[in-house]
Amino acid sequence: MKKLFIILLCMILTLSIAGCTKNNAVRRTVRGNMNTYYEMRDGTWMCKDYAYKYRLEISGRMPNAAKDSTFVYLSNIEDISFEQAYMAAGISSNTEDYYSPDDAVLVEMK
């Protein structure tokens, strides 16, 4: 019985140590209102198992809106216009206006 307990304890310790080294690359976790995402120690960003080079805050006013809106995207595209940002956020009915997960993901709308 003692041997079984010691073996189980060793397995738990081994798994917890392995888990810590895997998460060591995360600098901080951000709980956006659209998706949870992670800032990595190397300066990149992660969301849903995709890596992104940039975190873009894109602000402007949509047509006929009373106030400005801000869209936060993680992206491998260096520059996204405000019109592209709001169309890809769900305004457009044209699927060509949306980004593939490799290119960009919306993580916050303000």
> What is the pLDDT at residue 93?
94
pTM (2 decimals)?
0.76
> What is the pLDDT at residue 62?
94
CA distance 92 to 69: 16
Question: What is the token pair recorded at 104?
Answer: 């960009």
Main-chain phi, psi angles of 36, to 5 degrees: -85, 140
Listing from the earlier edge strand, what are the strands of the sheet with 26-31?
A: 26-31, 36-40, 45-47, 50-52
Tell me the pLDDT of the chain (110 aa) as tens digits.
665 545 555 556 555 544 444 445 999 999 999 999 999 999 999 999 999 999 999 999 999 999 999 999 999 999 999 999 999 999 999 999 999 999 999 999 99
> What is the pLDDT at residue 17?
47
